[in-house]
Structure 1
Amino acid sequence: MKSFYIKIKSFFHSIEDNIAFYPALLSFLGFNFAMLMLYLEDKGISAFVIEHAPPLVINNADTAKTLLSFLTGGIISIMVFSFSMVMVLLNQASSNFSPRVLPGLISKRNHQYVLGMYLATILYNTFTLVGINPKETDKYQLPGFSVLIGIALTVLCFFSFLYFIHSISKSIQVNSILEGIYSKAKTRMIRLIEKEKKESPSFPDTSDWKEYGSKETGYLQTFAAANLINICKENDLQLKIIPIPGAFVLKEIPIIKASKAIDKELVEEILSNFNFAQGEIVDDNYALAFKQITEIGIKAMSPGINDPGTAINTIDYLTELFAIRLQKNDDTIITNEDKSLIYINTINFSELMYQVMVSYRTYCKHDMTCVQKLFIMIKYLLLQQTNNDHYHNSLISEAKYLYDDATANVENEEDKRRIEQLYKSLPNKRE
């Protein structure tokens, strides 16, 4: 039962970022609330309210139907406008920044709640209209209290629309996008670092372990770690997850290694705990944040946009993320009762640093402002404490690559002098 609950929780986590999830959920709640109110009307709730607070209840059927029809039409109009605005802004974000930032924008909870409020109110008002019989003349038979609630929900939708316009306009700004990506990656890395401080396990050599292929195709996002731990304990097993989280996995490509041969049923049970998606989610994989921020910076330096200021902003955010990454080990191992059970293959610091720097060196080596900012970033990172000296060696190597590319592409002697000065100012620089 616990295993089933963990799978459901993991599945819910994988679908809740879908733009239609919360609107559909709130629509369902709106329909059920309408059914509840119709039931309460049969029990005489409107008659009770009329007797104690008559000004709050509409007691004319034609007025109630006209008012609800008018308000429902208004909500449909602003909902269509809201969806249209979302599509336009998403297209703008894709063109100006990077298509990979779209999942983060789409999955914003507050926008989903607003759209869900629209749909829930439309359904509520529609089914409340069904409960109004224009031939009834007895004011106690009209669902006056339900109509009142429909009006209140509609007013709430109008205020939500104003908030939606403000929020969606703000969320499309580059600083807001960068801050969102940075915050998610920072939270994820700090959580992993805190876990590593409690555990410092080792893992055996896996070169002779048997490999088992994936049954699905997609981006490997998350896996139910608690379930895998239980499986390993019950079967005296150790596992290695081969693909880096966030990597695209093809069907039948090896995805796990097991410390001993296991039967087909156990393989299927293990693989059922892996979640795949057709997109990239920073909440599940901090390395995607480096990729997305880098792509925004490189896109800003394209000839069509030519915005060095945005590129410098991305370097600032990357500097802070790399400073946090210096505190994390390259190896990620899940333990239970001091026994290493699962090894997660992750991108190491040197490779992560190289992939980021090679992009900036390729597209920004001719721009002095960006080159200076990159040297400042490397200098800052070299001054940070780390439990792995190899990290600093990687930074020094990247500084040498940047120095070579920049001096080869800058013609002005003053610029070359400044680059030389920045390079020589780096601490612990290898000659």
Structure 2
Amino acid sequence: MKALYTKFISFFNLLQSKIAFYPALFSTVGFGFALFMLYLEEIGISAFVIKQVPQLVINNADTAKTLLSFLTGGIISIMVFSFSMVMVLLNQASSNFSPRVLPGLISNRNHQYVLGLYLATILYNTFTLVGINPQESDKYQLPGFSVLIGIVLTVVCLGAFLYFIHSISQSIQVNNILDSIYQKAKMRLEFLLEKETEQIPDFPKTKNWKTIYSSQTGYFQNIAVPNLVDICKDADIKLKILPIQGLFVLKGVPILQVNESISTELSNKILSNFSFAKGEFVEDNYALAFKQITEIGIKAMSPGINDPGTAISTIDYLTELFALRLRKNDKTIITSDNEALIFVSTTNFKELLYQVMAAYRTYCKQDLSCIQKLFIMFKYLLLQEAHLPDYHHALRAEAKLLYDDAMETITNKTDLRRIEALFQGLPD
């Protein structure tokens, strides 16, 4: 049951990232609400409202049909325009920043809520329109209250459209995109830091352990940790998960090791707790945030864009994320009752820093403003407390590589003296 529940949660999270999820959900609610209002009309809700507030209820069938038709057509127009703006947003984000930021923009729930409200109102007005009988002479049989609700929903849609215009114009701004990625990664890192213990027990050597191979292909997104812990305790086994979270895993490659031989049934049970996806999400893998922010910075330094200011902004956000990463251990070992049960392979700090700096050294080594900002980042990080001394060693090594590349690329003597001073000013 736990495995099924975990899979359901993982599947639901994947659905939420789809742009059509909330619009489809709102559409269902709008259809159901229209049927509910038709039922209320049958029991005389309009007659009651007319007696209480007759000024608010339309009692002419032709007027009601014309009004609802006009409102529905108007909502369809602004909905088409809104969808067009979403496509323009995605196209610009892909061209100017990085295609990797698209999943985060698509999964923007506020935009989905607005589009869903449009669809729900269209369905509501349509089915209310169907319930109007133009041959009916008795004004109390006209669904006047339902028409009033349709007018109110249309006014709400107009307000939502104004909000949508404002939100979509804000979403395309690079600072907001960077801040969104940063906030997601920060939450993920803080969550992992809270779960870490001060004392990490030793994990046995896995050289002669049995290997289990992947039965699926996709990005290794997550694992159901409580389920795997229960399996390890019940079967008295230990596991080592081989791929790093976010890595693309092919079917048939080694995915985990077990300290003893297990049955095929148990192996399949263990594999059922691995979650794969066709995309990557910062909410599940903080290392993806470093990759996305780096790609935005490098794209900004391309000759076609040539925007050092954006590259400098990305370095600021990376500085904050690296400062958080300094506090995290490279090893992730899951324990139960002080016993190490599962070893989870993770991206170590040295490799993460190298991959980021390799890109910046390649594309920014000729730009003095970016080089200065990178040395300021190194100085700040070297002053922060690190979980392991090796982290500071890695920072100094990368600073030396940046210094060497900059000294070979830049020819201006004044600039070279400034770079020399920045490098020599790094803390020991």
Question: TM-score, normalization: structure 1?
Answer: 0.97
- In 1, are the aligned partners of 2:7 and 2:275 still within 8 Å (CA)? no
Q: Deviations over 1:268-318 (max 9, x none)?
A: 222222222222210100000000000000000000000001000000100
Measured after TM superposition, the shift of residue 335 of structure 1 is: 2.1
- In 2, are the aligned partners of 1:10 and 1:224 still within 8 Å (CA)? no
Structure 2 partner of 1:355: 355
Number of residue pairs the alignment of both structures matches: 428
The answer to whether the aligner puts 1:313 opposite 2:313 as a matched pair is yes
Structure 2 partner of 1:109: 109
CA distance in 2, matches of 1:207, 1:155: 67
Structure 2 partner of 1:230: 230
Secondary structure (helix, strand or coil) at the match of 2:334 reads strand
Structure 2 partner of 1:187: 187
Structure 2 partner of 1:147: 147
Structure 1 partner of 2:426: 426
CA distance in 2, matches of 1:51, 1:40: 16
CA distance in 2, matches of 1:357, 1:49: 68
CA distance in 2, matches of 1:50, 1:340: 71
Measured after TM superposition, the shift of residue 82 of structure 1 is: 0.6
Structure 1 partner of 2:332: 332
Secondary structure (helix, strand or coil) at the match of 2:196 reads helix
- In 1, are the aligned partners of 2:3 and 2:272 still within 8 Å (CA)? no
Secondary structure (helix, strand or coil) at the match of 2:257 reads strand
Q: CA RMSD in A?
A: 1.3
CA distance in 1, matches of 2:71, 2:306: 46
CA distance in 1, matches of 2:259, 2:140: 74
Which range moved further: 29-38 or 371-380? 29-38
Letter in 2 for 1:369: S
Letter in 2 for 1:161: F
| Equivalence map 1:64-143=2 (5 Å) | 64-143=64-143
Measured after TM superposition, the shift of residue 11 of structure 1 is: 1.7
Structure 2 partner of 1:396: 396
| Equivalence map 1:210-359=2 (5 Å) | 210-359=210-359
Structure 1's unaligned 5+ residue stretches are: none
Which range moved further: 359-368 or 30-39? 30-39
CA distance in 1, matches of 2:260, 2:157: 58
Measured after TM superposition, the shift of residue 56 of structure 1 is: 2.1
Letter in 1 for 2:364: C
Q: Deviations over 1:337-376 (max 9, x none)?
A: 3222222111000000000001000000011111111111
The answer to whether the aligner puts 1:55 opposite 2:55 as a matched pair is yes
CA distance in 2, matches of 1:79, 1:349: 46
Secondary structure (helix, strand or coil) at the match of 1:256 reads strand
Which range moved further: 220-229 or 124-133? 220-229
Letter in 2 for 1:196: E
Structure 2 partner of 1:367: 367
Measured after TM superposition, the shift of residue 103 of structure 1 is: 0.6
Q: Deviations over 1:192-220 (max 9, x none)?
A: 01111466333222222222122221111
CA distance in 2, matches of 1:192, 1:397: 27
Q: Deviations over 1:198-251 (max 9, x none)?
A: 663332222222221222211111222222222222222222221111111111
Which range moved further: 191-200 or 120-129? 191-200
Letter in 1 for 2:63: T
Structure-2 change in CA distance of 1:383 and 1:50 (3 Å): same
Which range moved further: 9-18 or 158-167? 9-18
- In 1, are the aligned partners of 2:308 and 2:370 still within 8 Å (CA)? yes
Q: Deviations over 1:120-153 (max 9, x none)?
A: 1111111111111111111111111111111111
Structure 1 partner of 2:41: 41
CA distance in 1, matches of 2:98, 2:162: 27
Which range moved further: 252-261 or 355-364? 252-261
- In 2, are the aligned partners of 1:184 and 1:282 still within 8 Å (CA)? yes
CA distance in 2, matches of 1:237, 1:124: 56
Letter in 2 for 1:170: Q
CA distance in 1, matches of 2:13, 2:226: 15
Runs of 4+ in 1 over 6 A off after TM superposition: none
Measured after TM superposition, the shift of residue 2 of structure 1 is: 4.2
CA distance in 1, matches of 2:113, 2:69: 23
- In 2, are the aligned partners of 1:219 and 1:280 still within 8 Å (CA)? yes
CA distance in 1, matches of 2:155, 2:373: 50
Structure 2's unaligned 5+ residue stretches are: none
- In 2, are the aligned partners of 1:221 and 1:245 still within 8 Å (CA)? yes
